[in-house]
């Protein structure tokens, strides 16, 4: 199938932020989370992802995750919110999906089960079972370097036939697979690697879930809007100055750099939960002032 009028209308497009989890003295800083959410919403994002990898979800217990989700949903004032989930025990994961069904979610961001490394039949069973149980549509999170599981093109095209599987966060590292999914048209393709935002949207992808867009948020949103309007030269001129920020955001383990930048701006604390550690002194010396330099170069 090629992209056509028969493809479903996009549910997931534009700029989505995989929200960091602000911490203070070991606890979630809900006030900071609400302030950050409101600022990001005002800067032109489409929606938010709570409890993704950028949100240190693996270090949050279930009660903390639900409390954070409630804080962000309230602060987002109607902007769509997606919840990340992960695991490898299917019955427990399905129970968590049923718990989340009581929240007004726009979607669930779901990776393959980590550690197990299932084959393609096992991956299909995993996603289809979760999609059958979920009240909200699924975004397949294709990120083999975290899960150890590669999702092949035919597997993703099969998942696209499920009415409750509607998008993919594409961190698969396979440009041919990305373009095949865009051409097929049934899944909303969102760049999951920030450095691929420009190329994915220029090729017809719907948008991006981009951690580095916590900073210069309006500029990232504008790049996507320009690309979708076909204004390639203007989009390129705005994108090029953002590249050092994108590269520095992932030069140390995510979300350490993003939290350091937001702390420098006074928006949140820089605290992380072990085993995550702050960025190195060398990174701080080279990159901590990048957002300020970028803002100055753009005149604000």
Of the residues 115, 141, 177, 259, only one is catalytic, namely 141
Of the residues 88, 115, 145, 169, only one is catalytic, namely 169
- Tokens 């999609």 belong to 131
Q: By CB neighbour count within 10 A (0-12 exposed, 13-18 middle, 19+ buried), where does 222 fall?
A: middle
Residue partners of 226: CB distance under 8 A and separation at least 6: 232, 234, 235, 238
| 169 counts as catalytic | yes
Q: Compute how many other C-beta atoms are within 10 angstroms of the C-beta atom of residue 47.
A: 21
Could you give the angle at which helices 90-100 and 120-133 cross, rounded to 10 degrees?
30
CA distance 133 to 215: 36
| 177 counts as catalytic | no
Please list the alpha-helical segments (H only) found in the chain. Answer: 30-42, 62-76, 90-100, 120-133, 144-147, 153-159, 175-184, 197-202, 217-228, 232-239, 243-249, 256-264, 281-287, 290-297
Helix (H, G, I), strand (E, B) or coil at 141: strand
Q: Provide the annotated active-site residues.
A: 141, 169
């Amino acid at each position: 199938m090629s992209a056509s009028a028969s493809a479903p209308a996009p549910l997931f497009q534009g700029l989505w932020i995989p929200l960091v989890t602000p911490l203070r003295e070991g606890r979630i800083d809900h006030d900071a989370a609400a302030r950050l959410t409101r600022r990001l919403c005002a800067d032109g994002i489409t929606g938010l992802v709570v409890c993704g990898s950028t949100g240190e979800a693996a270090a949050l217990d279930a009660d903390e995750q639900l409390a954070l989700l409630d804080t962000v949903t309230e602060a987002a004032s109607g902007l769509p919110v997606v919840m990340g989930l992960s695991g490898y025990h299917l019955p427990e994961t399905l129970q968590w999906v049923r718990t989340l069904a009581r929240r007004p979610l726009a979607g669930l961001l779901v990776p393959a089960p980590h550690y197990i490394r299932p084959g393609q039949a096992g991956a299909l069973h995993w996603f289809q079972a979760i999609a059958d149980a979920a009240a909200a549509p699924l975004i397949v999170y294709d990120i083999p370097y975290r899960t150890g599981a590669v999702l092949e093109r035919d597997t993703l095209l099969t998942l696209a036939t499920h009415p409750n599987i509607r998008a993919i966060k594409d961190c698969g590292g396979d440009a041919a697979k990305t373009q095949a999914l865009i051409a097929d048209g049934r899944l909303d393709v969102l760049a999951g690697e920030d450095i691929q935002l420009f190329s994915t949207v220029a090729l017809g992808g719907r948008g991006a879930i981009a951690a580095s867009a916590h900073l210069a948020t309006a500029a990232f949103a504008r790049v996507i809007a320009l690309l979708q309007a076909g204004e390639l030269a203007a989009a390129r001129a705005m994108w090029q100055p953002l590249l050092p920020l994108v590269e520095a955001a992932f030069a140390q383990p995510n979300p350490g750099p993003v939290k350091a930048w937001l702390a420098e701006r006074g928006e949140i604390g820089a605290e992380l939960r072990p085993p995550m550690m702050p960025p190195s002194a060398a990174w701080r010396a080279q990159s901590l002032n990048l957002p300020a330099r970028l803002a100055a170069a753009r005149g604000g």
